[in-house]
Amino acid sequence: MMSLPVDATAILLAAGLGTRMKSALPKALHPLAGRPMLRHLLDSCAAVFSGCVVVAGPDMPALEQAVSPWPVVIQRQRLGTAHAARQAVPLFGDGDVAVLYADNPLVTPATLRRLLEARRSPGTDLALLAMRPTDPARYGRLVTAPDGPGGEIVRRIVESADATPAERAIGLCNAGALCAEAGRLAGWLERVRNDNAAGEYYLTDIVALAAAEGAVVRAVEAPEAELRGINSRAELALAEAEIQHRLRQAAMADGATLIAPETVFLSADTVLGPDVTVHPHVVFGPGVIVGVGAEIRAFSHLEGAVVGARALIGPYARLRPGTVVGEAAHVGNFVELKATDLGPGAKANHLAYLGDASIGAGSNVGAGTITCNYDGAAKHRTRIGEGVFVGSNTTLVAPVELGDGAFVAAGSVVTEAVPAEALAFGRARQDTKPGGGAVLRARLKRAATRETV
């Protein structure tokens, strides 16, 4: 494989509104695996090109923020894809330039590298990406001509609506992305005309311009799964399915066990250590790291959390942002943690809410325990030391602290600090009246009889 030039630039066209998405959100910001689709393409480009430039539409501050620190140029009027690429000409540099579409987010670094290598191969002036889709109906066909033994050059792109029956039978279709030397690409962009029904400047017209002046245009084929565009919610769902398949395969290749891979949903930045086991129907939101040998049981949801080695999570557990679960700690069924540190070996096995809390190593939090972390105006923290036992149905009203080795009786409402090794009762005194149950039952039956008369 040849070495790639250091002066190669990727231009990403992201000014489209995506009207078929029926959304106020710019199309390029719709998420795939918890990350805007444009960021997926940027990450792939950054692995191959020395620079990236994003072309945005006017009034897209969220998009500009999402692509930082890459530079952004604005297409003030949406006059077509060639017009959009033309806005970035001052940032082309002196090397090779590739133009790509933000709604093709699944193209891989390997494919981009092949595109750039094809452009740099001897005698090639313009390289473009192509595919053989299962249903080519809406794609432009590449009309090619022989170029020596086993090779072909692209003569032109014909849109499906304008194609003859013979041209529509061509399986090789345009995928949109192309690459050329900066100066030649800028010249072709300047010569693109808008004498078409829509009055727009189309990037695809560059192919005919290049061929007409004798430039050699070659196609680089890649799988349809990488190159399909996203113009609707249905196509967004297809892209999500593809990226989830990639993420699951990568996780398993790295040593994680996914018992039912098709039911596990990962984010682009999910990190699963070796020997992690993930049971069916688990969702990983952005920002999750799971340590070696941990087990995530069914129907759990994790986001913005770190899970230590050999920890046990779930089933039906929820870890919210800011949560850190220590080594060999347990978070059981219907337990929710938010901004909480659960120390090594600590356990919260049943029906608990622990928010804004620090829980020391080896502590045990009983079923039904909650930390009352919000007083209506501000959040407050609960601090539980090491080796603490918190009985079932305990309410910890923050800010409050339980010292090392403290014991809190079941059903307590704790509003004051509990010293180390202390035993705390914070519940009302039980009052038992012998025979009172029968008296009350009789009274209730009489009242019910009067109401029905």
DSSP string, 147-210: -STT-EEEEEEE-GGG--HHHHT---EEEEEEEEEHHHHHHHHHH----STT----TTHHHHHH
Tell which of 164, 192, 227 closes a domain.
227
Q: What's the rounded Cα separation, in Å, for the pair 127 and 97?
A: 11
Tell which of 227, 253, 269 closes a domain.
227
Q: What CATH code is carried by the domain that includes residue 131?
A: 3.90.550.10
pLDDT for the residue 149? 53
pLDDT for the residue 195? 87
Q: Are 317 and 334 in contact (CB under 8 A)?
A: yes
Q: What's the rounded Cα separation, in Å, for the pair 100 and 158?
A: 19
Residue 447: inside a domain? no
Residue 429: inside a domain? no
Same domain, 370 and 264: yes
pLDDT for the residue 6? 53
Give the chain's end-to-end CA distance (angstroms, integer): 94
Number of domains in the chain: 2
pLDDT for the residue 148? 60
Same domain, 155 and 276: no
Residue 61: inside a domain? yes
Same domain, 289 and 407: yes
Same domain, 308 and 386: yes
Q: Catalytic residue at 301?
A: no
Same domain, 55 and 82: yes
**pTM of the full structure:** 0.90
Predicted confidence pLDDT, tens digits, the chain (453 residues): 344 445 899 999 999 887 888 998 999 999 999 999 999 999 999 999 999 999 999 989 999 999 999 999 999 999 999 999 999 999 998 899 999 999 999 999 999 999 999 999 998 999 999 999 998 888 899 998 887 655 688 988 888 888 889 998 999 999 989 999 999 999 999 999 998 878 899 999 999 999 999 999 999 999 999 998 899 999 999 999 999 999 999 999 999 999 999 999 999 999 999 999 999 999 999 999 999 999 999 999 999 999 999 999 999 999 999 999 999 999 999 999 999 999 999 999 999 999 999 999 999 999 999 999 999 999 999 999 999 999 999 999 999 999 999 999 999 999 999 999 999 998 888 889 999 899 989 998 998 888 776
Same domain, 194 and 76: yes
Q: Are 107 and 192 in contact (CB under 8 A)?
A: no
Residue 1: inside a domain? no
Same domain, 260 and 403: yes
pLDDT for the residue 337? 98
Same domain, 174 and 90: yes
Residue 180: inside a domain? yes
Nearest partner of 372 among 398, 335, 352, judged by Cα:
398
- CB atoms closer than 10 angstroms to residue 2: 9
Q: Is 111 helix (H, G, I), strand (E, B) or coil?
A: helix
Residue 334: inside a domain? yes
Same domain, 158 and 248: no
Same domain, 328 and 206: no
Cα angle 182, 188, 194; round to 5:
140
pLDDT for the residue 342? 98
Domain that residue 397 falls in: 233-424
Same domain, 70 and 188: yes
Same domain, 201 and 337: no
Residue 187: inside a domain? yes
Residue 179: inside a domain? yes
Among the options 40, 83, 281, 350, which is catalytic? 350
Q: What CATH code is carried by the domain that includes residue 420?
A: 2.160.10.10
